[in-house]
Structure 1
Amino acid sequence: MKFERVIIIRDKTRLEQLIERFNSKAQAKFYIESSDGDFEFFEFEHNTFYESLSKVKNSINGILKYKVINRSFLPTYIFTENDLVLVIGQDGLVANTAKYVNGLPIIGINPDIERYDGILLKHSPKDLNSILKNVIKDSYEIKQVTMAKATLNDGQVLLAFNDFYIGADSHVSSRYSIEFNGQKEQQSSSGIIISTGAGSTGWLSSIFNMANNISEYYNSDINDCGTTLDWNDNKLVFVVREPFMSKMSQTNIGYGIITSNKKLKIESNMPTKGIIFSDGVESDFLNFNSGSIVEIGIADEKANLVI
């Protein structure tokens, strides 16, 4: 593959978001400090990010062309097969980017190793020059990550790097029918979580933590429950959160492993406020109201992280 330019994906810093909210840096500073907050923290974080971004640009100069785009433009930006994707920010930005780049290689840069865990951000700005030279020589390794795919009956599609949430968009009961492995039933719950291998140590693990805490309280002899998949496993895990038993709702389908031959099907019974969102980004969503049917399976495309 011949790369012609680097597309740098970034997000606004928290200081930039504060300035947008309060219209000026001075107003933002006044608000934070009047609440006994540490405004210098936001300034230091902001400056550290821009120092790293400057190092990234300097490393790319003389090797490839580059273009910087903001996270908000990801859903509409048209990537080409000659683009090399570079993400600088937090781990969640890598997950959000992977859904839109059609399998292009992604270099994750951690701009602030003192603050960010960097599970998906394996490189620092100082490493970038040598990484780019290796990529151009086609001397680099890729870590593939399986993604989930939600397909609505009207043709809309949404991908997830970590997980999907399917249910109501607020703290009310999610009502739907669920079909899996030859079984079908009506349910009322707090929604459904579908997790990839990459996401299995995140939101999914917190659900298992809750179940294990309850078991421990009652001195259960059952071994701790939990599921951790490899990132490239062609499997997904779903869990129904807090299913409610009633005359109109059942609780028999609560957990399962989705494979290429075993998909999950859900039909909404929510007149309004039904939603499907991915990777914890509530703005990245599909409406899921009465009449909507979604099928959850494994996405054909993989996320390709440069390691």
Structure 2
Amino acid sequence: MVLAPRVVVVHRRTELDGLLERHGTRGQAEFFLRTRGRTLADVQGRHDAQDAALGEVRAAVPGEWRRGDVERGDLYRFGFEPGDVVVVVGQDGLVANVAKYVGTQVVVGIDPEPGRNAGVLVTHRPREASDLLRAVVRGNAAVQSRAMVTATLDDGESLDALNEVFVGHPSHQSARYRIGAAGVVESQSSSGLIAATGTGATGWAASIHRERRAGVELPGVADRALAWFVREAWPSPSTATSLTAGRLVDGEALTVVVESDALVVFGDGLEADRLTATWGQTITLALADRTLQLL
């Protein structure tokens, strides 16, 4: 028996949802916003825009197809199927969240507020959903493979990220470690390091690159490459600063051996979803085997 295609719509709670949960009533939420120079009308408008976009996307799914729906907070326990078409309705960050949990499924980014957001991953409009879904199922949609970065501990734990992985002290103060790249190893003390993909090269990595004026070329969105940067390396009699930036391609890796009580590893700014490496453990950063299949 051949199963009908399944469309999984991913969304996140709006700011209004969070305010009402926190303050209990619309009146209390409005007072809170007013004390900060904001209005309930703006928050309500963005809530309504997302609701309207979700309604339009859901209505675009043919009646005979299967459907799934998941809020961002439940992604870690949602069972994606290999043939799913995953439709993300929200901002770019939600696509990065989804990337951690999907494999070869095609991800479609829908911007609920076209013209207001400057998204680079959610580039489609709600009204396009019907044509996009059918094109994906027919197999003639233009899909782009986006590289991901993986961080692996020597005990087998690992995590993947779409934009970048951060390694450093839990409080972002000085971390001690030994870093290794291209056969060169040195001890360092710094506020951590990041390894970024071409997708992430327009964010945190771009900021470091501009300030550092490093001679490392940032990867493009379609490149199978990573750029890595050490933040604020500190020279001392026991620590050096010669390995502070570089580029990795397939088959290459950056290693970090922990010489502090513990270092944390997290991806795409999600500090709550992190790995912890203790003294003597090795963290390996490299291109992930899997990619995000983005429409």
Find the aligned partners of 1:275 and 1:137 in 2 and give their Cα distance. Answer: 43
Note if 1:230 corresponds to 2:220.
Answer: yes
Letter in 2 for 1:49: Q
Q: Read off the aligned partner of 2:189 and give its amino acid letter.
A: S
Q: Aligned residue for 2:169?
A: 168
Q: Is the 8 Å Cα contact of residues 197 and 229 (structure 1) preserved in structure 2?
A: yes
Residue 260 of structure 1, CA deviation? 2.1
Match of 1:284 among 261, 265, 273: 273
- After superposition, the C-alpha distances for 1:9-39 in whole angstroms (9 at most, x for unaligned) are 1111111112222233332112112333222
Call closer, same or farther: CA 1:188–1:151 in 2, change over 3 Å: same
Residue 137 of structure 1 deviates from its aligned partner by: 2.0
Runs of 5+ consecutive residues of structure 2 not aligned to the other structure: none
Pairing of 1:266-277 with structure 2 (within 5 A): 266-272=256-262, 274-277=263-266
> Is contact 1:3-1:136 (8 Å) kept?
no
Q: Which residue in the other structure is 1:303 paired with?
A: 292
- Establish whether residue 6 from structure 1 lines up as the match of residue 7 from structure 2: yes
Q: CA deviation at 1:227?
A: 2.5
Structure-2 separation of matches of 1:291 and 1:260: 26
Give the 3 Å change call, closer, same or farther, for CA 171–301 of structure 1 in structure 2.
Answer: closer
Closer, same or farther in 2 for the Cα pair 1:76/1:269, shift >3 Å?
farther
Q: Distance in 2 between matches of 1:121 and 1:63?
A: 26
Whole-Å separation in 2 of the counterparts to 1:281 and 1:3 = 34
Match of 1:255 in 2: 245
Shift of 1:250: 0.9
> 1:203 is aligned with what amino acid?
W
* Mapped partners of 2:226, 2:36: distance in 1: 44
Query: What do the CA deviations read for 1:141-191 (whole angstroms, capped 9, x no partner)?
Result: 211111111111111110010111110122410211111111111110111
Extract unaligned runs of 5+ from structure 1.
213-223
Question: What CA RMSD, in Å, does the superposition of the two structures yield over aligned residues?
Answer: 1.8
The amino acid of 1:232's aligned partner reads A
Partner in structure 2 of residue 24 of structure 1: 25
Is contact 2:179–2:254 with CA below 8 Å preserved after alignment? Answer: yes
Q: Distance in 2 between matches of 1:194 and 1:173?
A: 18
Deviation at 1:134, TM superposition (A): 1.8
SS in 1 for 2:228: strand
Structure 2 match to 1:196:
197
TM-score by length of 1: 0.90
Q: Name segments (4+ residues, structure 1) moved above 3 Å.
A: none
Secondary structure in 1 matching 2:278 = coil
Number of the residue aligned with 1:47: 48
For the Cα contact (< 8 Å) 2:160–2:288, is it kept in 1? yes
Displacement of 1:225 after TM fit? 4.7
**CA 1:255–1:35: 2 relative to 1, 3 Å:** closer
Task: Name the TM-score, length of structure 2 as normaliser.
Answer: 0.94
Task: Give the paired residue count.
Answer: 294
What is the Cα deviation at residue 265 of structure 1? 0.6
Q: Distance in 2 between matches of 1:52 and 1:262?
A: 42
Alignment check: 8 A CA contact 1:9 1:86 kept: yes
1:245 lines up with 2:235 in the alignment: yes
SS at match of 1:72: helix
Q: Which amino acid in the other structure matches residue 28 of structure 1?
A: A
C-alpha distance in 2 between matches for 1:226 and 1:183? 17
User: Which position in structure 1 is the counterpart of 2:37?
Assistant: 36
Specify the SS of the correspondent of 1:228: coil
Q: In structure 1, how many angstroms separate the alpha carbons of the residues matched to 2:135 and 2:38?
A: 44
CA distance change for structure 1 residues 192 and 169 in 2, over 3 Å: closer, same or farther?
Answer: same
User: CA offsets per residue over residues 27-66 of structure 1, 9 Å max, x none?
Assistant: 2112112333222111111111101111111111425221
User: Residue 231 and residue 34 in structure 1: after superposition, are their counterparts in 2 closer, same or farther (change >3 A)?
Assistant: closer
Measured in 1, the distance between the counterparts of 2:204 and 2:215 equals 15
**For 1:280 and 1:103, how far apart are their aligned partners in 2?**
23
